[in-house]
Chain A
Amino acid sequence: MTGNVIEVNNLEHSYGSIKAVDNISFTVKQGEIFSFLGPNGAGKSTVINILTTLKKIQRGEARVNGYDVAKESDSVRRSIGIVFQMLCIDHEMTVSENLEYHGKIYSMSKKERKERINELLKLTDLESKRDTLVKNLSGGMKRRLELARGLMTKPAVLFLDEPTVGFDIQTRMRMWEYLREIKREGTTIFLTTHYMEEADQLSDRISIIDHGKIIVTGNSDELKNKLGKDLIYLETSDNKLAAEVLKSLSSVKSITEDTKSLRVMINEDVTHVLPQIMEIIRREGIEIIIVNIKKPSMDDVFVHYTGHGLREGDEIEKEKEVELEVVSK
């Protein structure tokens, strides 16, 4: 093996005439957390379903843990753990019974199951809930149990499809802690998310995916630095003119302008550039209403590369769904 746990080449997948995954290639390295960041319906779940052999591969090639997804699905299945997007755990069984069942269907021996269940309950802080029926657990606990279940067979790679969707921020942050711990223990993690922060905080590398295509891949700092070192947010009495004037400065990397504001990306140390910029704008007789300096965030990265925010993406998705309904009728 080349140190890549997942290798995907020219993957394509269509539902009828709609291309959900459009010629995607990427690799995930041993031991890293790799994220697919994109709006709902960008094709993230389709990729996960193909990699976990739940969907037949239509075109292209994918290997997981060295096994061909198309031809060696059983070996792939034995190499992976999955946490599905939707909660799917038996509410009428206890915490340990759920793990026990999982170990059994993967033919683990009784001794292995017992040891692993103890380890995992400790890892996910569910030891005190061992004999509690799942229906009496909180949402966060259920998710942690699913995490434990995904790890039951000591998989080479753990797939998580939107692992924290619908959770409050505390629960989400706790979940991230667990995922970091799992990574420290050497498990490779592939996750999809539409939360900027999740991708940003958690991942070693991120692929931004939109309309079935990977738009850019890199670690969080790389992606942000590509945009510029710092970002100045300006609201002025004449944004258009201000943009015009600032464009010529060598320290300015790019300017994004909308009706209300200017986002000026700076290549150099902003503390020196800002006074200069304000001076120039004032000299043109433009009034500055608001100034704000910040480091580029994942949101800015996303907007920069996809040309729209995630919210906008959702609306596009809705249109798509409407289209789909029309097609299916």
Chain B
Amino acid sequence: MNFEFRAIYWREMVKFFRFKSVLFTSLVQPIMWLAFFGLAMSDSFDQLTSLIPNVSGVPVVNYFSYMGAGIIAMDVLFSSLFGGTTLMFDKKFSLLRETLASPVPRFHIILGIGLSAVTKAFIQTFIIIGFGKLLGMDFFNGYTLTQTLFSIVGIMLLVATFTLGFLFLSGSIAITIENPEGMQSILTLLSMPIFFISSALYPINSFPSILRFLSMFNPLTLLANGIRYFALGTDFSVMGIHYIYTTADIGFCFLGLTIFALAMLSTALWRFNKVDI
């Protein structure tokens, strides 16, 4: 009786695989990030930081691998942040009417769309990891098979929680805002600070203290750090900076992302219950 969200999920996935252009771009986008931005940035970073002595006694990780985690986080951020747009169009073209007039609880509608976004995020994550390994990313180096699987599950959990949070956020905006232009500009504005005040692309150690403080609570930082914990290990150095991740750190990542997702879920439910036909 209570599995109606599967219907919503099914519809989203049918359409995801139907629109070849959307499918193609969402698969190619992560590859482009890695191939162009990733390689270009990491080469110049590695050159700039080549004179910095490495921390002795700990495994050294190249900047490309460090940034790989950030690219996963960023790619997932953008696709989930814009993922709610579908709701705005459904509302605009009155497609939402059918579902809103049915006995399906509104929670199921958001959940169904959320889970479809999680599926898409998983696909992108795997593409980045797979393609990244080809280009020489140090993910899961020296791991046993069990450790690798465990790490992948950990990354998937983080990605799922993060995606749900941002999809609920974007869904709330989509259902409130009437016009696509407004939606676009809000999302762009929103993505700027999330993107730059985070550890996705560069270490936050040298940030001004206020930005550093803010970045600690940024979901994107939490996700990027979490992925690094699982993919690069608990003790490594990058560009002469020594990283040690403790269990408390990864716990903080999960906790922060869960709180974020729950807060966004309640926002989405609040906005959704206000939708009138």
Q: A residues within 8 Å of B by Cβ?
A: 49, 52-55, 74, 77-78, 82, 84, 86-90, 92-93, 97, 101-102, 104-107, 149
Do A92 and B103 touch across chains, with their CB atoms under 8 A apart? Answer: no
The residues of A that contact B36 with a CB separation of less than 8 Å are none
14 A–B contacts, CB within 8 A, in A order: A49-B277, A77-B103, A78-B103, A82-B101, A84-B94, A87-B94, A90-B11, A92-B15, A102-B98, A104-B6, A104-B10, A105-B4, A105-B7, A105-B99
- Interface readout for B1-37 with A: 1 if CB under 8 Å, 0 if not? 1011011101100110011000000000000000000
Contact residue among B15, B94, B102 (Cβ-Cβ distance under 8 Å from A105): B102
Pairwise interchain contact B4-A104, C-beta atoms closer than 8 A:
yes
CB-defined contacts of A53 to chain B, threshold 8 Å = 101
Bound complex: CA of A106 vs CA of B103, how far in Å? Answer: 7
Q: In the docked arrangement, what's the CA distance between A88 and B104, Å?
A: 17
Main secondary structure of the interface of A (DSSP, over half): loop
CA distance A49 to B97 in the complex (A): 11
Give the residue of A54, A74, A92 whose beta carbon is less than 8 angstroms from that of B18. Answer: A92
Contacts of A88 in B (CB 8 A): 93-95, 97-98
7 closest A-B pairs by CB:
A104-B7, A88-B94, A77-B103, A105-B7, A105-B102, A54-B277, A74-B103
User: In the complex, what's the smallest C-beta–C-beta distance from B147 to chain A, in angstroms?
Assistant: 40
Does B39 interact with chain A (Cβ within 8 Å)? no
- When distances are taken between beta carbons in the complex, the residues of chain A under 8 Å from B4 are 104-105, 107
B127 within 8 A of partner (CB):
no
Q: Is the beta-carbon distance between B99 and A93 smaller than 8 angstroms?
A: no
State the Cβ distance, B81 to closest chain A Cβ, in Å. 22
Which B residues are closer than 8 A to A by beta carbons? 1, 3-4, 6-8, 10-11, 14-15, 18-19, 93-95, 97-104, 276-277
Q: Which of B3, B7, B14, B101 has the most CB of A within 10 A?
A: B101
Indicate if the CB atoms of A101 and B11 lie closer than 8 Å: yes
Asked if A52 meets B101 with Cβ closer than 8 Å, knowing A93-B15, A104-B4, the reply is yes
Q: Smallest CB–CB gap between B179 and chain A, Å?
A: 18
CB distance from A14 to the nearest CB of B (A): 15
Q: In this complex, what residue of B is CB-closest to A103? A: B7
Which of B11, B95, B100, B276 has its CB near the most chain A CB atoms (within 10 A)? B11
Inter-subunit contact B94/A54 (CB<8 Å)? no
Given A88-B97, A92-B15: A105 in contact with B104 (beta carbons within 8 A): yes
A106 to B3, CA, bound (A): 10
Is B102 touching A77 in the complex (CB atoms < 8 A)? yes
* Complex Cα gap A106–B99 (Å): 9
Q: Give the Cβ gap from A243 to chain B, nearest Cβ, in Å.
A: 50
Query: For A54, what are the chain B residues with a Cβ–Cβ distance below 8 Å?
Result: 100-101, 277
- Would B95 and A90 count as touching, CB distance under 8 A? yes
Is the CB–CB distance between B7 and A101 below 8 Å?
yes
Judge whether A107 and B98 touch: CB under 8 Å. no
Q: Which residue of A lies closest to B97 (CB)?
A: A88
Contacts A77-B103, A87-B94, A104-B4 aside, 9 further interface pairs with beta carbons under 8 A come to A49-B277, A55-B276, A86-B94, A88-B94, A92-B15, A93-B18, A102-B98, A104-B6, A149-B98
Given known contacts A54-B277, A88-B95, is B10 in contact with A101 (CB within 8 Å)?
yes
Residues of A within 8 A of B3 (CB): 107
Do the beta carbons of B94 and A92 come within 8 Å of each other? no
**Residues of B with C-beta under 8 A to A49:** 277
Contacts of A104 in B (CB 8 A): 4, 6-7, 10
> How many whole Å from A102's CB to the nearest CB in chain B?
7
Residues of B within 8 A of A101 (CB): 7, 10-11
B1 contacts A107, C-beta separation under 8 Å: yes
Please measure, in the bound complex, the distance between the C-alpha atom of A49 and the C-alpha atom of B4, giving whole angstroms.
23
Chain B min CB distance to A244 (Å): 55
B15 CB contacts on chain A under 8 angstroms: 92-93
Contact flag A93-B101 (CB < 8 Å), given A88-B94, A104-B6, A107-B1: no
Q: Report chain B residues within 8 Å CB of A90.
A: 11, 95
In the complex, the chain B residue whose C-beta lies closest to that of A73 is: B103
User: Chain A contacts of B10 at CB under 8 A?
Assistant: 101, 104
| Alpha-carbon distance A143/B19, docked complex (angstroms) | 24
A52 to B101, CA, bound (A): 8
Considering the complex, give the chain B residue whose CB is closest to the CB of A86.
B94
Note all chain A residues with C-beta closer than 8 A to B95. Answer: 88-90
With a cutoff of 8 Å between Cβ atoms, the chain B residues found around residue A55 in the complex are 276-277
- Once bound together, how far apart are the Cα atoms of A7 and B181, in whole Å? 45
User: Which B residues are CB-close (under 8 A) to A149?
Assistant: 98
* Separation of A97 and B95 alpha carbons in the complex (Å): 14
Q: How far is the CB of B8 from chain A (nearest CB, A)?
A: 8
Q: Which residue of A lies closest to B112 (CB)?
A: A105
Bound form: Cα–Cα A107–B108 in Å: 13
